[in-house]
Amino acid sequence: MCGIVGILGKSGENVLPSLLNSLEKLEYRGYDSTGIALSNGDGGSIIRVRSAGKLFNLKEKLQNMEVSGSIGIGHTRWATHGEPSEKNAHPMISTNLAVVHNGIVENYKKLKFSLENDGYIFTSDTDTEVIAHLIQRELFNDFSPVEAVQRCLSVMDGALAIAVVFADHKKIVAARRKGSLVIGFGEHVMCVGSDIGTISQLCQEVSYPEDTDIIEISENDAVFFGANFQKVDRPKHEVEHDPCHELAETYSHFTLQEIMDQPSAIRKTMLYNQNKIDESILEGVNTILILACGTSYHAGMVAKYWFEYFLKIQTNVEIASEFRYRSPIIADGTLVISISQSGETIDTLAALEYASSNGNCKTVAIVNVKNSSTDRSSNVVYYAEAGVERGVASTKAFTAQLTILASLAFCRNWFLRQQLQNIPTICEAALSIGDETREVARIISKSSSAIYLGRGNLYPIALEGALKLKEISYIHAEGFAAGEMKHGPIALIDERMPVLFLCPHNELFEKTFSNMQEVLARGKNIIAITDAEGEKNLPSDVRRLVLPTVCSAVAPIIYSIPLQLLAYYTALELGTDVDRPRNLAKSVTVE
């Protein structure tokens, strides 16, 4: 969940400005604390500056300090071991080095005991400080920096990515063990970062380390050590710059910009994949297994309705973090689809690895980041061309994922493929209801809870809408299948509880309308999201948001949009940090 970056200047220039700029791009991974460490690699001291809270606190601290260095590492923290505080902020230091870390050292207590017996003093509550002292101990035993890191990793358990700077070596040593990492090659700098967006403005080319790689980065090159600590070659890729990476002047938040960018993202996704997705991927497939977490899991739930109805293939959707712990059976002829915005979600990667190792199956990845770990672990990859999402709550990546899943589900149905082509234009019309949505958001913002109800393929969208409200407004919300309301959730209904119904005028409208009547008999705060025909049938005391009329099959994509806007405007009313909500990180890279 944390973000790491390292920059080595080729001509000895001060890398601090570039380091801070990269940390700004990493804040989506955590903002419990931030820190930097700088060195010149000439035997002088390592300068470390840390601060609790978000990056602006660190920047304010640095304004009153004269700090520079030609080699530097930085960190944005999502706290795991130890409370968010300055003493637990990375980098962690030992005598002659500093380290930043993303991941968890599972056996850190045992290692810490050994180090304390050797006289090492710990000043934090983190597992990361163990890494710093372990490497230092190996340096004192006359091992080189890269050898010291290799020996340190050999005794540690857990998934991680690290970057280390040294007081008396002009290099950065980085390592990856099931953690996201990219190495950058620039005209003036060499870099390492948690993702390509962190360092893309500094580099022209990047390489992606394989699992268990250790990388020795010097002024002019990066040497990769693979299995058995042997030197290996890793291909270089040209950096593609994303023009949507920065906030446009017309928007106050990345989240709103990304919501409004959905028509373009969907168009790009369809265009990129139009010749890649066809029914050949379904040859020999008897069962589809979808693995995902969070918002991506909701996309998978929608796909289950699509795949079973239109492809007539049994489909199971699994929460990736739970999947492998019950020893599931993977039947031959299973198509495994993993869905991950970042492609680095540790639970999804672990579930994919289990499925690949325990069954004769084909694997498909749906990701928004090229050359991610999920991408490299799958037989076939479909890219969501949504571009960078800087808001922590996923919006355009979600509808892009749905677009790919729909393209696969509709591959045998010409009519539905044509309906899908119209979605970007319909999305533009759906986005035009912002003013009406803001009025509803004012009502929701005065409540402590909300209920979202949907039927059929809109039930997962009700779950997603509730998740968005929780994520960025901090209002408790739950999504339910509308028919399940009377089996328990109806006990929550009173005159104050907002209840949102997803009810287009489709084959399930009458049943959903009956559920609405049941709620109206007990509460008065009802909001219907419907179409023009549905609006005609609504009671006068029901508030409504009216969307364009669409084919039922593609409704989940369109009906996601007002729920995203509702969450956004509710968060605005409450004054929360929309783009970086508390306790959340964009890429979940720890279990």
440, 538 Cβ separation under 8 angstroms: no
* Tokens read off for 395: 């919006």
Q: Which two tokens stand for residue 535?
A: 């609006």
Identify the bridge partners of residue 113 per DSSP, sorted by sequence position. none
Q: What does DSSP say about strands 214-217 and 172-177: parallel, antiparallel, or unpaired?
A: antiparallel
Question: Residue 231 has which token pair?
Answer: 């030197």
Q: Which one, of 86, 119, 100, lies nearest residue 2 by Cα?
A: 100
Burial of 13 (0-12, 13-18, 19+ CB in 10 A): middle
Neighbours of 538 (CB within 10 A): 18
Q: What is the CA radius of gyration of the chain?
A: 25
Question: Is cis: bond before 84, omega within 30 of 0?
Answer: no
Q: Which active-site residues does the annotation give?
A: 2, 586
Task: Report the candidate in 312, 369, 402 with the shortest Cα–Cα distance to residue 587.
Answer: 369
| Residues 588/292, Cβ–Cβ less than 8 Å | no
Alpha helices by DSSP H, 232-312: 254-260, 262-273, 294-306
How many C-beta atoms lie closer than 10 Å to residue 471's C-beta?
A: 24
Closest residue by Cα to residue 215 from 161, 157, 155, 136: 161
Question: Which of 117, 7, 124, 154 is closest to 72 using CA atoms?
Answer: 7
Gap between the Cα atoms of 146 and 288, Å rounded: 44
Contacts of 20 (CB under 8 A, 6+ apart): 36, 55, 58, 59, 62, 74
CB 530 within 8 A of CB 482: no
Q: Which of 392, 25, 387 is nearest to 201 (CA)?
A: 25
- Residue that has been written with the tokens 């300068």 in this structure: 47
Say if CB 174 and CB 8 are below 8 A apart. Answer: no
**CA distances (Å), 589 to each of 92, 158, 586, in order?**
20, 11, 9
